[in-house]
Structure 1
């Protein structure tokens, strides 16, 4: 028996949908307040921003996908915003953060498109590029923050390594490389548990779009392994940039 998928399988915004979203934001914010996490305001602001941004994207995406020029511009805008976000998180220059994010996402996206694994169509390029850029952004921010935190709290060990003959770069890499690799743990855990614990967004989205479970699984696998590659490249580069002092070390 072949399963059928209809429009009734999709999520449709409406009054009930709005109530659920408001309830989720209220719960998250209330729990944060009770637990004194000091992020309740950030949770609300992030939720409002996501609503406004997705509404705007929904309004323009149809036009963007009609033109390769607009598609390329849209991807560049995503890259610029991701780079600015990572730069703010690690206290570095946006251009250098852009280098790390770009070096993570671009080779993987190019391989997927040039190999034909992902159709060379705007409607395929935009979501895949967004996923890879987002993953590289997160990895850059986490690895950069982790490396800088270690330099701030354990700088004596870096100095000790330099005292016995290590260069600045070698001392930082010796101390920080493995710790920065912890930025890959979310992607690793998601990949290891996919299908057992989680059914991530690409799988659900393709399934809701009317594809078969096999096609949805194939799309999700491509995304997960692509993310692992993109995030690994981003982590390696941001740590290298910090080790070479291109991204400033924290003042002591």
Structure 2
């Protein structure tokens, strides 16, 4: 009987090592200090890494983050500075004219490997007792309307994973339903879609809305509250390399509802 118990305990130990929770990745959010700027304003913004939306909990590695401002097809690189107090990366942009601006962020892929000793920020190559390994890459696109908006909201910026509004968010009011298309490398993607707004909850990973895309990659989201909204999607590419097992991409779209 004792031998059976020992064998069972050993089997449970092995099973516990194999059944591992996924890496609790923070959401990559780019948020300006105001969503209603005026022409000619120098607008500060912050790169946020959060489980609670939208309060930063850790600072993204500055060398892995690229920011740019897109307006009428013209892309302007933006500089970031570390803010250890708020755990953000901060920058600013000049909004010369009226219209719709796209504030674009890319957190380059970072490899995390889960071993029997815990998570390590490293390739699985050369590590012992590897359980799983993933490359985690994140994108964010924030719509900023200065004065009268234009059709810039529906333009793509070339992110590998991207959310594109099919309805102008500036024309949507609380209670309206908006259509948003999910694209992976420019093609429609079937995906679960999560949405929330700033201040909805103080609990981690708590969403105000969840839906799925249709066969054209289009999600219908009811925007039932005013404020700064975010929509998030994820795509896992299970093509193992010598460095990792899966490539996990996340994309966020930020916009204002008033």
Normalised to the residue count of structure 2, the TM-score between the two structures is 0.25
Normalised to the residue count of structure 1, the TM-score between the two structures is 0.26
Q: Bigger relative contact order, structure 1 or 2, given CA contacts below 8 A and separation 6+?
A: 1
Instruction: Compare the two structures and name the one with the higher strand fraction.
Output: 2
